Amino acid sequence: MASALQRTASTHRSAVIRGAHEFQIVGYRARKSLARVTDSSSKDAAAPFYAGGVPCTIKSKPFHVGGYTWHLVCTFYDKGDRHLKSVTLEMLSAFIVASDVIATASLRIDDPLGRWPPAVWKSDTANTFSWKAQGSSWKLSLPDAFCGHEDRYVSTDDRLTILCTVEVFKENDATAAEPTKCFVSPVPPPTIAGEFRKLLLLLETRCLETSDVTFIIEGTQIMAHRLVLAMRSPVFAAELLGHMRESTTRHVTIHDMSAPTFRAMLRFIYTDEFPINSSDSMVRDLLVAADRYDLGRLRLMCENILVERINIMTVISILLLVRGRGSCHQLEDSCIEYIASDPDVYAAVRATEGYKELKETCSSFIIEVTERIATHYMARRTSSPSSSKGSHPPPEKSMSIFNSSVVVRGTHEFRIPNFSSVQRSHGTDQAIPSDTFKVGGYDWTMHVYPSGFSTVGGGNSGKYISVFLSLGTDPGTASVKLYRRFRIDDPTGKATSTILASEVIYTKASRSWGTQNFITVKSAKSRYMGHDGSLTIHCDIDLTKEACTTSTKATAIAAPRIIVPPSNIASHLEQLFVSGQWSDVTFHVEGSQIHAHWLIIAVRSPDLFFAVVPSTTKRGMVPKRVIRIINMKAAVLRAVIHFVYTEELPPVNDAVVAGEMLAAARRFHLERMTAMCENLVSRLVTKDNALSMLELAWRHRCKELKLYCTEFISHAMNTPARRQFSFSSEIEHLGFVYTSFQERAMAVSHGNTAHLARARGDNVLTRFCGTIAANEKRHETAYARIVEQQLRLDPDGAIYDFFMPPAD
């Protein structure tokens, strides 16, 4: 008997360094107007670059990503309205590197008023910037949404903002040693579903006073929130927050639905969860309710359950249920397919009492069903002429099987992002290992050779990808027999899968088996790479164990499964935030306005709610509609509100703003945002702000960020390939100016610190060196402790400052 399929997955993570540059073109419309009114017949030698006295190309300031210098070149048409023609990414530092640079890029242009979705373009493949030519360039495509609709994306102050994100692929020893990790703090899972589940629980226990609508069903009162219902259902939106009668009344009566069904639907609206062990009647009632209130995901969940429950006794009643409901065509088709699957099934259905009753009371429905069955049956015969007349699978079947062995099955999915770049950087015989996974009690690892594996005297000149499966557990004297299959699927579903299978026996002496010529590199790149440039290879394992006899219960003929999309509460919240619809509070901060909803803020961040709600607001009262914020930047508050609605951070490339976002996340006890901000700050740490970022981490007790900044500073001070940083101060009472940060740290990490500091005139170090415990005087922790102590003793003084030494 085959055991439950064990699924595992692992990912090879290459070093991808990401950076973004915001290029603002001020006077965008004005430059086009100027070009139209100026003489365009200039005979000047610069005519190819100018149109009517206005330059056809403009360049951004240089910016740095991945250790290289870049800039953007925007080209405009030289005739007509001088629209933006193209954006080119140029690498300015190509001539100083000794190898090609592989990078991807994307462009994003936002509507400054938020009325239209962002115009986005992202490269499908990576581009190689050659080191042999200075000024290597790559012409990027403009987003389709931007072309022809430029005015949507130009602000009222005549400014067009282009955000270009560059990802540089690096995979070498130097890069691996440099502390450039982007995830210093693990990010907790999203909490939106749990918080809305808690909100529903408070409603059901009547412990919450925020309910603003009560439904009366079969004499039962059920409380809810108009905003949540409207956010999830367009029908409720029209009824409760539109111009219908229900929008003006506190109580809404529903006559054609049971109270249990409404409660189950309400639970889905708040949690995206389906009732456990629901009866057939409940599922059917929920399908009708979902169709009535346009809850697409709930409807598909009901359809999926009913498809699995199709049998001879239920198929006609299900068909009658979905009759006339155009949105339920998948379930209807499944019923017809079931009846037409076999003449015996059709005959059994016709013999049921339900069919006979409908034939007398609703003959038109029976005629309609019969015609569809006939059409479906003829279509099947036409498409499958070879099918024999007597091969009719029974509607239900049971079986018992003698297995000479029990088969333990498992599958592992190994995803390799940026495969083209990885393949270029890995030569023949260079493998990428997957994570270790278990099947049948044994540890296994996949090894993928992007440029092939060559044996002695054999040949694989980089044309093929090689794949091997290795046994990690010592089998001792036993042998492990298994059927192994390597598989690679077309992510679009258009091409057939490439599969290579074989039966192998693993022993203590033979613990790795695979194939050198699994698939050509060319075929993998052209047919099987995902839209994000990744390549995924599956390994299916059937591992043989001891013999047994098994039996299965009677089961109906397998029905096609209806695909149910994932939970969409988060996307509905994001749409609510972007549109600003039904907002009941506006924050005024630094001259800008941010629209929000009191209920969402209260549910997602109670600390933020009580921080911005005036203290004079009494319990049960609706807070003010306009709140003025004076102690926070607009960008920071907008980021906090954005996270509250989406559980994600907006794009930020300013280290100061990122630091203030971290402070706000800590203040409002947003744990997930705190971790994400720590990771964001770590990506923005540079030699110029490393100490301030360390102080920020220390002040807000961010342990992982503090360690990262310490490692960054240590690396900066001890990397021979870099020009030496100096550590100095102009504060008089420091007395001695050390030549490096390491020298000051060593003064603490060695013994007799107070005497040494006093002898060298370092009064500040003398004051605090005795407070550092002996077990903290190790070299690796001394750096952070010095900075912490000095910042505490002299918080207003710029004690440390990184600077590059003057050229000789």
Q: Is the pTM of this model over 0.75?
A: no
Please report which residue ranges of 293-434 form alpha helices under DSSP H.
Answer: 296-308, 315-322, 329-340, 343-350, 353-361, 363-383, 419-425
Per-residue tokens: 7 = 């699924």
Q: What is the mean pLDDT of residues 310-332?
A: 85
The answer to whether residues 226 and 320 belong to one domain is: yes
SS (H, E, C) 472-518: CCCCCCCCEEEEEEEEECCCCCCCCCEEEEEEEEECCCCCEEEEEEE
Per-residue tokens: 188 = 């907790």
Compute φ and ψ for 638, nearest 5 degrees.
-60, -40
> Is 599 part of a structural domain of the chain?
yes
Give the pairing of strands 585-589 and 626-628: parallel
> HSE of 437 in the Cβ direction (CA atoms, 13 Å)?
25
> Is 10 part of a structural domain of the chain?
no
CATH number for the domain that contains residue 276: 3.30.710.10
Cα separation, 412 vs 414, in Å, equals: 6
The answer to whether residues 380 and 495 belong to one domain is: no
Pick the closest to residue 284 from 332, 324, 321, 235 (CA basis): 321
Of 99-103, 641-645, 680-684, which range is least confident? 99-103
The answer to whether residues 670 and 690 belong to one domain is: no
Give 248's contacts (C-beta < 8 A, 6+ positions apart).
Answer: none
The answer to whether residues 428 and 545 belong to one domain is: yes
Residues 442 and 480 sit within 8 Å (Cβ to Cβ): yes
Pick the closest to residue 415 from 565, 541, 540, 529 (CA basis): 529
Sign of the Cα torsion 555, 556, 562, 564 reads negative
Q: What is the mean pLDDT of residues 437-466?
A: 79
Q: How many domains does the chain have?
A: 5
Last residue of a domain, one of 642, 668, 684: 684
Tell me, what's the pLDDT at 786?
A: 57
The answer to whether residues 212 and 151 belong to one domain is: no
Per-residue tokens: 166 = 């560059």
The answer to whether residues 279 and 406 belong to one domain is: no
3-state helix, strand, coil in the chain (%, to 5): 40, 25, 40
Cα separation, 330 vs 291, in Å, equals: 14
Cα separation, 599 vs 609, in Å, equals: 9
Q: Which of 68-77, 166-175, 394-403, 657-666 has the highest mean pLDDT?
A: 657-666
Tell me, what's the pLDDT at 161?
A: 86
> Is 6 part of a structural domain of the chain?
no
Q: What is the dihedral of CA 732, 736, 741, 743, to 10 degrees?
A: -170
Of 364-373, 494-503, 554-563, which range is least confident? 554-563
Cα separation, 98 vs 94, in Å, equals: 8
pLDDT at residue 573 greater than cutoff 80: yes
Residue the block writes with tokens 């309910």: 211
CATH number for the domain that contains residue 430: 2.60.210.10
Cα separation, 259 vs 222, in Å, equals: 8
> Is 168 part of a structural domain of the chain?
yes
Element (H, E) at 415: strand 407-416
Strand partners, 317: none
Which residue type occupies 624? K
User: pLDDT, tens digit, for every residue of 110-119?
Assistant: 887 767 788 8
Burial of 345 (0-12, 13-18, 19+ CB in 10 A): buried
Pick the closest to residue 686 from 65, 21, 24, 15 (CA basis): 65
- Kindly list the distances between the CA atom of residue 348 and the CA atoms of 315, 367, 586, 641, in Å, as whole numbers in the listed order: 11, 17, 64, 60
User: pLDDT, tens digit, for every residue of 383-413?
Assistant: 544 444 444 443 343 433 334 445 677 888 8
583 versus 543: the higher-pLDDT residue is: 583
758 versus 383: the higher-pLDDT residue is: 758
Cα 735-736-741 angle, rounded to 5 deg? 130
Tell me, what's the pLDDT at 763?
A: 58
pLDDT at residue 181 greater than cutoff 80: no
Per-residue tokens: 240 = 């409760």
Tell me, what's the pLDDT at 289?
A: 93
The answer to whether residues 412 and 381 belong to one domain is: no
Tell me, what's the pLDDT at 4?
A: 46
Position 621 confidence tier, pLDDT thresholds 50, 70, 90: low
Of 27-41, 634-648, 659-673, which range is least confident? 27-41
**Would you call 9 helix, strand, or coil by DSSP?**
strand
Q: What is the mean pLDDT of residues 426-444?
A: 84
Last residue of a domain, one of 371, 396, 421: 396
In this structure, how many other beta carbons lie within 10 angstroms of the beta carbon of residue 89? 23
Cα separation, 404 vs 406, in Å, equals: 7
The answer to whether residues 231 and 376 belong to one domain is: yes
> Is 132 part of a structural domain of the chain?
yes
The answer to whether residues 658 and 598 belong to one domain is: yes
The answer to whether residues 672 and 759 belong to one domain is: no
Tell me, what's the pLDDT at 453?
A: 85
Tell me, what's the pLDDT at 263?
A: 93
> HSE of 571 in the Cβ direction (CA atoms, 13 Å)?
6
The answer to whether residues 31 and 167 belong to one domain is: yes
Sign of the Cα torsion 495, 496, 497, 499 reads negative
> HSE of 71 in the Cβ direction (CA atoms, 13 Å)?
11
> Is 171 part of a structural domain of the chain?
yes
Position 172 confidence tier, pLDDT thresholds 50, 70, 90: very low
Burial of 399 (0-12, 13-18, 19+ CB in 10 A): exposed
Compute φ and ψ for 225, nearest 5 degrees.
-120, 125
The answer to whether residues 114 and 127 belong to one domain is: yes
pLDDT at residue 677 greater than cutoff 90: yes
> Is 563 part of a structural domain of the chain?
no
Sign of the Cα torsion 733, 738, 741, 745 reads negative
Per-residue tokens: 319 = 């068909």
Residues 196 and 228 sit within 8 Å (Cβ to Cβ): yes
Residue the block writes with tokens 């569809």: 372
Tell me, what's the pLDDT at 656?
A: 92
User: pLDDT, tens digit, for every residue of 695-742?
Assistant: 888 888 888 888 888 877 777 665 443 333 333 332 222 233 344 444
Residue-range definition of the domain harbouring residue 136? 15-177
Last residue of a domain, one of 396, 415, 440: 396
User: pLDDT, tens digit, for every residue of 73-118?
Assistant: 988 877 766 788 889 998 876 444 556 788 889 998 988 776 778 8
> Is 104 part of a structural domain of the chain?
yes
User: pLDDT, tens digit, for every residue of 498-539?
Assistant: 778 888 888 888 888 888 888 898 888 888 887 767 888 989
